[in-house]
Structure 1
Amino acid sequence: MPMDAGVIIVGGGQGGFQAAASLREEGYAGPVTLVGAEPVSPYQRPPLSKGFLTGKTPQAQLPLRPDAFYEERGIEWLAGERVTGIDRVARRVTLASGARRAYDHLVLATGAVPRMPRSPGAELEGVQALRTLADAQLLKQRLGQAHRVVVVGAGFIGLEIAVASRELGLEVEVVEFAQRALQRSVSADAAAFLSVALQARGVRFHFSTGAEAFLGEAGRVCAVQTHRGDVLPADVVVIGVGVEPDDALARESGLSVQGGVLVDDYLLTSDPAISALGDCARFPAADGAPPIRIESVQNAVDQARCIAARVVGRPVRYRKVAWFWSDQGQNRLQIAGVADPADASVLRGSIADGKFSVLRFRGDRLTAIESVNSAADHMAARKLLAAGIAVTPEQAADASVKLASLVAMAA
C-alpha cells in the first residue's frame, strides 16, 4: 500500500497502542500516528479497578511503555487530541484542534463508554463510573474520604471495585438488577463461589433490584434508593452496569454499525481503507453465529496484531480464542472461550476446595471453560479451544482426566 500519508490510529487504549507497536514490529515504514483523547500516554486499564485503588499499583507502573518508546520507533503520539470527523473520499480526518490529517489506512480503536443510569440524582457529586485513569484518580480520592460505598452492578468491574473498597476498610453494598452476580458472563457455580467469597469479606448484595434514585444533600450523593424501596447510605456510588461501544465516529462517517462497528474476518469495515478493533468492533464469530463484540484486553491486542499484519501484506483471518481474567481478592477467575448464558455447565473439581473449573457446552460442543484458582486448567482450555479438540461432558466432569492430557493426545 502507499506509504505517503501512513496509518492513523484513533484511540490511545491498549488496542490502539498495540496497533502502532505491531506496525513497526511488522516492518511498516510509513508514518504512524496514534491519536488519544487522554492527556497521558497509553497505560494498563485492568489495575484501575484493583491495585491502583488500594495503592498496591502506583501510577508510575501503569504506562505500557516509557515516552521514549514512541520517539525511538517513529510513532507520532497526539495526546489530549480527538478525531472529530472522517472524510472517507479524501481519506482525511479532522482533529478537535482543527487540524486535518491524511491517511492511507485508518484504524478505529475507540473502545467503549460506560452506560450511565437515567435515574434521578445520577448527576450528583460522588456518583461516577470507572473507565479512564482520570476516573480512577477521582474514585481513589473519593474512597479515601468515604466510609460507605454502593456499587450499582455486579459485573466484573463492580465486584473488583467492591473487593478493593473492602480492602480499604469501607462498608460496601452491591445493587444488581439480575438475580445473581455475573449473570450474563459466567456460570451459576462460578458466580456463586465468588459472591460467597465477597460476602465473607463483608460485601452485602441486593439482587433483583436496581437503583430507583440517587439521593443527595447539598449537591452530593448521600444514599441510593432501590426499586424495592430500600435506602442504602452512601458517600460514594460507583456505576458498573456495562458499557456501550464508542461507534459514533464510525456511524457519522457512514460506516456499517450495529451495536459496534461491523468488520469482516480481516477486521476491515465497510470501507476497505478503515479497520476497527477492540471494544468498539463487532466481528464474525468463528462458529458461524451472529457477529460478536468482546470486551477484553487480549481481544484488542490480538486484533491489533492481525490488522498490522494485513497492512504490510500478510492478511490472516482473525480466529483467536478469547480469554479473560478477573482478580477478586485472593481469587482469580480465568475464562477461555465465549459461552452463551443458556450453555450447559459441567463442574470439574471441588467448589469447597476453592479450586475448580466449569466447562460450558452448547449441545456436545465445548464453548468455554471458566477456571477459578486453576491456572493449569485455563492454559489447557485455551489450547483445547484453539485446536478445536473435542471434549465430552463425561471427560469434563472426571477430574482424573487432565485437560492437558487431552491436548497432548490430540497432538
Structure 2
Amino acid sequence: MPHSLKRSDNPGHTDSWYAASAQDRRVRPALQEDVSADVCVIGAGFTGVSAALELSERGFSVVVLEAERIGFGASGRNGGQIVNGYSRDLATIAGRYGAEKARRLGEMSLEGAAIIRGRVSKYAIDCDLVDGGFFAAFTEKQMREMEVHKADWEAHGHPGLEMVSAHEVRRYVKTDRYAGGMIDRLGGHIHPLNLVLGEAQAVEALGGRIFEGSRVLGLDQGSRNTVRTASGSVTCDYVLVCGNAYLGPQFPEISGRMMPVSSQVLTTEPLSADLAEALLPANYCVEDANYILDYFRRTADNRILYGGGIGYGGRDPKDIAAVIRPKMLTTFPELQNIAIDYAWGGNFALTLTRIPHMGRISPSVYFSHGDSGHGVTTTHLLGKILGEAVAGHAERFDVWSSLPNLPFPGGKTLRVPLTVLGAWWYGLRDRLGV
C-alpha cells in the first residue's frame, strides 16, 4: 500500500527509526583548536567508542574525531542483533590458520556480547537490551550444518545453544518457512544507536572528548603524532584508526583491503502488542542461514524491524522499501496492510577473508576494521583489544594482527563484479538447497 516514509528530525543522521528514536540528540561541536591527548581515535562508531571507553577506564586522555555524527555509519544503522562469533566459523578459521589460532579466537568469541551487557549494566545505558537469538534453517542441509556448528562452538565453551525442530519453530517465529533452526541464549538484540550514544556519554563522563563534524584530513608522524582536521589538530602519542566502511582515502593501506557493502532495513508502523507477540512470541531476534540472509526482530515499541538485501560497493537500491517489504511479507503475510514508517541503508566493511583486519600502520598507529557483517559484538571486542594494546598488553592484538589479510582480486576495479559473481553462485546453491 502506498505510504510516505517518515523522516528523522535528528540532523546529520540517515532517516532511520534509530535516529528518530535516539535518546541523545546533542550535536557535539567540531574541533576548532589544537589539543593534546594520549590517544586520538578516528571514528565514533562501535570500534572507536569501545576503544575510547576502554582507554578512558584505564586513565588515558582520549580525543575522538568523528567526520559526521556519533554512530553515523553501520553502528547506528544495523539490525541491532547481538550475534556471537565471527563471519566465518571456528572450523573454517582452524582450517585456514591452524588449531591454535582457532583456539585463541574461540576464547574471545563470546566476549563482545559480554562487553555489551557489562557496559549496559555499569553505565545504565537504556538501549532496549533483550536476550535471545534464533538462527533459522530452510533445509535439512542447513540443519545439519547448524548441528556441526553447535558442536564446534560447544567445544570452545559456548553453553547457550539448542537445536529447534520444525514443529518447535513457532515458539520463536510465526511462519512455515523454516525446517528448524538453533537458538542462542547468549544472543540478543538492542537499539544500536542508543547503545553507542550511551557508551559515548560514558567516555565523556570519564574525561574523554568527542568532536563531531571533524573529518580527518591528514596524519603527521614524528616523535608524537599530529592528526589534522579542517580547523584543528590533535597531538598525541597513539592514533587508533576506526573508520571501517566510512573511512576516507587518507589511509589507503587500510581502505584498499576492504569493500563497503550495503544492507537495507525497514521498520513497520507500531503494531498492536498482541500482533507483535504473535509474530515473534519469544521476542528473540532472527536471522536465516542463507548466504544473503534476512534478519528481523521486534522493537521496544512493537514494530517489526526487517533487514536483508546486499549492495556490493556500498550501493543502495533507489526504493529500499520496495526491495525489503516483499521479503518481510514472505515471512509475515499478516503484515500486508501494515504501513512502512522508515526504510534506510548503511554500509559495513567486508574483507576478502571475511575475518576482521587489525594491525599497525606504524609503531604508534593502530587500526581495526572489516568485521564483515558481524560487527555489533566483534567491534566491541576489538575496540577493547585496541585499548589493551595501547596500554602495553598486546598479546590478543598480536593474535588478530598475525592473521593474513588479502587484497581483493582485481583491486577496486574488479572487486565488485567478482564478489557479485561469487554471491550469485552461493545464492543459487541456497535456492537449490545444495
Quickly name the TM-score band, shorter chain normalised.
Answer: 0.3 to 0.5
TM-score, normalised to structure 2's length? 0.36
TM-score, normalised to structure 1's length? 0.38
Could you say which structure has the higher strand fraction?
1
Structure of greater relative contact order (alpha carbons < 8 Å, 6+ residues apart):
2
